[in-house]
Structures are given as C-alpha cells and as structure tokens.
Amino acid sequence: EIVLTQSPATLSLSPGERATLSCRASQSVSSYLAWYQQKPGQAPRLLIYDASERATGIPVRFSGSGSGTDFTLTISSLEPEDFAVYYCQQRSNWPLTFGGGTHVEIK
C-alpha cells in the first residue's frame, strides 16, 4: 500500500498569505495525484488532479506541482473561504490512498 504523508498537519496563516502544503508518497505515483478541499460538514471537493491540472471551476490561486514522490499544493493568496482541510490522494496503485490531511487555519 502506498502511504501518503502530508505536512504540516496544521498551517496557521492570515488571509492574503501564501499557503504551501506538502504530500510525500512512500513510492512513486508518477503524476497520479489529486488534491481535495473539505470544509466542516461538507463533502470533499476536487481541486487538482494529475498533480497540476485544476478541476472545473477551481480558482487560479490554487496550483499543484510535483511528480514521483513529492508534491505541493500552493494557494497563492488565501481567501477567507480557503480555510479548510486539504487531502492528497494517489491513483497509481490499488488500494487508492489518501494522506492524513493538512488543516489550514486562520492565524
């Protein structure tokens, strides 16, 4: 099973700041990595797929990069609605696995 490790667990930032979230895979997943956002009481929402492709309707302030084992989700300038939990997910091997999440909280 491919283990995805997200860091940091919690990121405390202010609106307008840049957020950088990391996801590291225990073995190569090529570019088969997605990022999701989840707000309290809601289902997750797909942000990025295949490491760097923005999903439909996702603002350009969200961007993804990386390949192999190291990936990054960047939010260029945090909006109030961006404070949430973010998960990465690999689709290279079954079982499909998620990282443990990064909570982006208001500082």
Residue numbers of the site for other proteins (CB under 8 A)? 32, 34, 36, 43-46, 49-50, 55-56, 87, 89, 91-101
In the structure encoding, which two tokens stand for residue 58, read together? 């996702």
d(CA 104, CA 21): 9
CB of 105 to other proteins, least distance (A): 16
Q: Specify the residue, 19 or 33, whose C-beta has the smaller distance to other proteins.
A: 33
Q: Specify the residue, 13 or 46, whose C-beta has the smaller distance to other proteins.
A: 46
